[in-house]
């Protein structure tokens, strides 16, 4: 009898199984997770802002913005050093969580409960041009996953715990519980049922209450006045939707282009130096790119343009209003570069805040430009707010999240109609150009992303290695029929892979191919396997995803297909085994 039988955890699990039904236990756990992830999000945000306030006060304010160049580089260096101490890859929060759901059965390594938390504090606190939302999601999701593992929850319950953790973290960091639930459903492609909705509600509410209790019921953005929705402004909102879509595509393309560039660096030191220097130079020239940028967003919401541009070295040369608009347009164009340099150099953060920053800047520039033409006057604050929703809908491919997030974090419920118009247009146009969001692009290239298509989602959850069968007897092309009969006598299968000396698959042999010769001993020494075998209808590479496997079954109509690993025989996948595993996963998924 193992010693672990008498541990307190095992005793609790036995007691829980007898006295607390599974659904009730999951509900209780969701409340606890919401509270705990709320604490984590508040701690993450306040610690980061404490570092920011410390670095931008006292001695450093006596000099002309040198910290805009130096501090982001220092923050990235500290982040990279911490990564080396952790000895694990601390990547982006949401993509890593999506990968854990689709390929790791909802299991996340324990280091993710603190890796993103610690590293993002120094990246963002020292001025890295990224947000804290991704690290908050990564930390919260890891907490939910490890609690699910600790209490021996099944796959469906583990995924629900990860979702509850995400909802709690987003609700706490933005004080937006409704948007947090919608974000979880849209981004994680969660199959929403009544049994999963209630835990999500409880976790999101718990995270929001924790945040409010610790730091007050305050909105993230502040503005003096929002004008009521005017039907006459609809054409301009429609145009803003198109502009935010193009800006979203621009964000997507630049982000992955820069990421590809930095991935070619073999030296971590070179990556840090090049990325850090590029980031530092960019922020030195355009100080509003420093940090998350929420202060800049609030200035734009209140029309305080001078506060946005006064730190720039170009400030003394900016007098004309049109030049001011060009400078603000630079915020739209270069924020994505600052974000990409931060991530490429080794920093840790999220793209949520940069998307809000670019959206608000674009909305402000667009409305100001229209007003400068002097033939119509549209409310700048309204368009600044709605522009944020447009970028969120386009970059994240989450239009519902964009609508409710902006409404909740600003209290601007009067703008629901323009929020809906801009978000829908931005999402539709962006998706027609870039089918995958910035969170799922790389995962989609590997077939690792879940979608709201249930069939596709279940295929994504399946693992090829768990479906492939390897109990087949390989034969060689030169083998004589007499020796083949001996192999058949010891095999339980009627299918035989034909491999050469290098274990490369050169053909496939079935019992039907030589059944008519089995009892003709006269040809036992004159007939070889190479004369009987046939080429396989298709080959499945071991690295292929299940959607590609299913496509090959449909194209060939075959019942069995061989699997190879870089040309070498690995096993077979049968359609019957695939459907059997698919049915079991479908039951588990539902």
**Res 346: pLDDT:** 87
Phi, psi of 499 (to 5 degrees): -125, 150
Bridge partners, 563 (sequence order)? 540, 571
Three-class SS of residue 280? helix
Q: In whole angstroms, what is the distance from residue 438 CA to residue 351 CA? A: 8
Enclosing domain of residue 27: 3-215
Q: What is the mean pLDDT of residues 42-68?
A: 74
Query: Which is higher by pLDDT, 485 or 11?
Result: 485
The upper half-sphere exposure of residue 522, i.e. CA atoms within 13 Å in the direction of its Cβ, equals 2
Eight-class DSSP state of 88? S
Q: 524: domain CATH number?
A: 3.10.580.10
Q: What percent of the chain has pLDDT over 90?
A: 23
Do both 37 and 74 map to the same domain? yes
As a residue count, the chain comes to 590
> Are residues 251 and 341 located together in one domain of the fold?
yes
Does 421 lie in the same domain as 281? yes
In a domain, residue 222? The reply is no
**pLDDT exceeds cutoff 80 at 212:** yes
Closest by CA to 346, choosing from 260, 273, 272, 269, is: 272
- pLDDT given at position 393: 94
Is pLDDT above 50 for 63? no
Q: What percent of the chain has pLDDT over 70?
A: 86
Tell me: do 302 and 183 sit in the same domain.
no
Residue 220 maps to a domain = no
Concatenating the DSSP letter of every residue in 166-196 gives HHHHHHHHHT-HHHHHHHHHHHHT----HHH
What is the residue-averaged pLDDT of the chain? 83
In-domain check, residue 226: no
Strands 560-565 and 540-541: parallel
Q: What is the pTM of this model?
A: 0.76
* 453, part of any domain: no
Q: Which among 188, 215, 242 is the end of a domain? A: 215
What is the tens place of the pLDDT at every residue in 567-584?
888 888 887 777 776 666
Q: Are residues 195 and 71 in the same domain?
A: yes
The reply to whether 146 and 240 lie within a common domain is: no
Distance CA 325, CA 385 (A): 17
Q: For 290-337, write each residue's pLDDT tens digit.
A: 888 888 888 888 888 877 777 666 655 566 577 778 888 888 999 999
Domain boundary (215, 249, 277) is at 215
CA distance 259 to 343: 8
The CATH number assigned to the domain holding 95 equals 1.10.3080.10
The mean pLDDT value for 409-423 works out to 84
Question: By mean pLDDT, which of 436-445, 506-515, 516-525 is the weakest?
Answer: 436-445
Q: Is residue 54 part of a domain?
A: yes
159 and 187, same domain (yes or no):
yes
Count structural domains, the chain. Answer: 3
Q: Which residues contact 188 (CB under 8 A, 6 or more apart)?
A: 97, 98, 101, 159, 162, 163, 166, 450
Task: Provide the pLDDT for residue 383.
Answer: 93
Q: Is residue 452 part of a domain?
A: no
275 and 206 co-located in one domain:
no
Instruction: Choose one of 182, 215, 248: the last residue of a domain.
Output: 215
Q: Are residues 546 and 570 in the same domain?
A: yes
**Do 24 and 79 share a structural domain?**
yes
Instruction: Please check the confidence at residue 249 and state whether its pLDDT lies above 90.
Output: yes
Q: What is the DSSP string of 465-487?
A: HHH-B-----B-TT-BHHHHHHH
pLDDT at residue 227 above 70? Answer: yes
| In a shared domain, residues 75 and 98 | yes
What distance in Å separates the CA atoms of residue 415 and residue 406, rounded to the nearest whole number? 9
- Over range 44-52, report the average pLDDT: 89
- Same domain? For 491 and 344 the reply is no
């Amino acid at each position: 009898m193992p010693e672990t039988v008498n541990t307190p955890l095992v005793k609790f699990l036995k007691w829980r199984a007898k006295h607390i039904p599974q659904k009730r236990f999951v509900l209780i756990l969701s409340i606890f997770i919401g509270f705990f992830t709320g604490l984590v999000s508040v701690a993450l945000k306040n610690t980061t802002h404490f570092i920011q306030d410390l670095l931008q006060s006292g001695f450093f304010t006596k000099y002309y913005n040198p910290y805009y160049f130096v501090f982001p580089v220092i923050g990235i260096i500290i982040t990279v050093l911490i990564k080396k101490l952790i000895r694990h890859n601390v990547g982006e929060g949401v993509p890593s969580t999506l990968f854990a759901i689709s390929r790791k059965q909802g299991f996340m390594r324990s280091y993710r409960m603190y890796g993103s938390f610690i590293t993002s504090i120094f990246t963002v606190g020292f001025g890295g041009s990224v947000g804290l939302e991704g690290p908050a999601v990564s930390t919260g999701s890891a907490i939910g996953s490890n609690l699910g593992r600790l209490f021996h929850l099944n796959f469906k319950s583990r995924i629900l715990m990860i979702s509850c953790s995400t909802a709690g973290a987003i609700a706490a960091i933005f004080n937006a519980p409704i948007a947090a639930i919608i974000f979880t459903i849209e981004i994680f492609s969660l199959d929403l049922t009544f049994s999963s909705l209630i835990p999500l509600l409880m976790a999101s509410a718990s995270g929001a209450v924790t945040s409010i209790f610790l730091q007050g019921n305050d909105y993230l953005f502040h503005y003096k006045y929002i004008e009521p929705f005017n039907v006459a402004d609809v054409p301009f909102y429609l145009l803003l939707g198109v502009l935010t879509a193009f800006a979203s595509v621009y964000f997507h393309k630049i982000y992955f282009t820069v990421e590809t560039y930095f991935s070619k660096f073999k030296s971590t030191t070179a990556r840090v130096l090049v990325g850090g220097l590029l980031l530092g130079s960019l922020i030195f020239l355009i100080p509003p790119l420093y940090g998350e940028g929420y202060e800049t967003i609030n200035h734009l919401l209140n029309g305080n343009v001078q506060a946005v541009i006064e730190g720039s070295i170009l400030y003394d040369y900016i007098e004309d209003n049109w030049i001011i608009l060009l400078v603000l347009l630079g915020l739209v164009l270069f924020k994505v570069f600052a974000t990409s340099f931060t991530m490429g150099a080794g920093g840790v953060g999220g793209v949520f805040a940069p998307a809000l920053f670019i959206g608000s800047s674009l909305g402000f520039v667009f409305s100001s430009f229209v007003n400068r033409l002097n033939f119509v006057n549209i409310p700048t604050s309204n368009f600044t707010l709605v522009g944020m929703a447009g970028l969120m809908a386009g970059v994240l491919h989450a239009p519902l999240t964009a609508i409710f997030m902006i409404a909740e974090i600003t209290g601007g419920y009067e703008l629901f109609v323009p929020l809906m118009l801009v978000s829908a247009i931005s999402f539709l146009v962006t998706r027609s150009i870039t089918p995958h969001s910035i969170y799922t692009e790389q995962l989609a290239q590997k077939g690792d992303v879940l979608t709201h298509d249930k069939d596709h989602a279940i295929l994504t959850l399946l693992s090829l290695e768990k479906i492939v069968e390897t109990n087949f007897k390989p034969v060689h092309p030169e083998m004589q029929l007499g020796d083949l009969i001996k192999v058949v006598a010891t095999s339980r299968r009627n299918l035989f892979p034909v491999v050469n000396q290098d274990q490369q698959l050169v053909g496939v042999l079935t019992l039907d191919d030589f059944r008519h010769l089995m009892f003709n001993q006269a040809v036992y020494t004159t007939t070889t396997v190479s004369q009987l075998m046939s080429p396989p209808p298709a080959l499945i590479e071991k690295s292929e995803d299940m959607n590609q496997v299913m496509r090959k079954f449909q194209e060939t109509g075959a019942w069995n297909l061989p699997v190879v690993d870089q040309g070498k025989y690995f096993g077979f996948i049968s359609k019957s085994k695939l459907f059997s595993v698919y049915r079991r996963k479908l039951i588990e998924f539902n």
